[in-house]
Chains A and B, each alone.
Chain A
Amino acid sequence: KAGVTQTPRYLIKTRGQQVTLSCSPISGHRSVSWYQQTPGQGLQFLFEYFSETQRNKGNFPGRFSGRQFSNSRSEMNVSTLELGDSALYLCASSSEPDTPRPQHFGDGTRLSIL
């Protein structure tokens, strides 16, 4: 079984631009969660999608948005990029969000804002 796939692996943008990150979960997994990882802050939860619906949302500004498609693939969009958005963005999938199953993580997308 293929793991969680995130594209692209690396991205460099400038302030004010927007960016879209992609995540393909493990086959059969319908829940996708997004996290922002920065040094000293650990993993901060962004949002979770299940069956194309956002079920949970973290404390991030509205510039951060996401969506999930019918094939469970998910995208995350950040608009009007700021220097502080530089981070590793991780996607994680699990088979069912209503059970306490471990999450399976992708390699992440490292976003650098110049």
Chain B
Amino acid sequence: AQTVTQSQPEMSVQEAETVTLSCTYDTSESNYYLFWYKQPPSRQMILVIRQEAYKQQNATENRFSVNFQKAAKSFSLKISDSQLGDTAMYFCAFMKRTSGTYKYIFGTGTRLKVLA
């Protein structure tokens, strides 16, 4: 069975600093997709960034980038120049095709607090 592990329940970072959130996953599949979602306090969960496993190049979205290590099954999220608005719960998610449809598996989340 696929699992997604986020080993850091809580983290904090000073405003303008860089922080890295870790995520590891377990799968025997070779074709899958990885996502980071952000859930601000009392607000809607939104997609931050996605990575296709067949792509070697790490995905980037403005201040957000990933370090995708396929052999190590690691998918960390780096947030550069942290802002107060980055305070949120971050979920790593794994998606693969199962019985003709795509199914998500989420990690337990990392609560990130950006300090002024």
Contacts and interface: CB of A to CB of B under 8 A. Distances in A.
Question: Do A and B actually bind?
Answer: yes
B45 A56 contact: no
A33 B104 contact: yes
Interface residues of A, number: 24
B5 to A, nearest CB: 10
A63 to B, nearest CB: 22
Interface in A87-108: 90, 97-103, 105-107
Nearest to A43: B106
B102 A97 contact: yes
A50 B101 contact: yes
Given A42-B91, A107-B43, A56 B106 contact: no
Contact of B107 (A33, A42, A103): A42
Contacts of B104: 33, 45, 103
Contact of B101 (A35, A41, A45, A48): A48
B103 A105 contact: no
A101 B106 CA distance: 15
Contacts of B6: 42
Interface string B16-39: 000000000000000001010100
Interface residues of B, number: 27
B102 A90 contact: no
Contacts of B44: 3, 105-107
Nearest to A45: B104
B13 interface: no
A75 B110 CA distance: 29
Given A100-B102, A107-B43, 9 more contacts: A42-B91, A42-B108, A43-B91, A45-B106, A55-B99, A56-B99, A100-B97, A102-B50, A105-B37
25 contacts: A3-B44, A35-B106, A40-B9, A40-B108, A42-B6, A43-B106, A44-B106, A48-B101, A50-B101, A55-B101, A56-B98, A56-B99, A56-B101, A56-B103, A97-B101, A98-B101, A98-B102, A100-B33, A100-B102, A101-B102, A102-B50, A105-B44, A105-B45, A106-B44, A107-B43
Interface of A: 3, 33, 35, 40-45, 48, 50, 55-56, 90, 97-103, 105-107
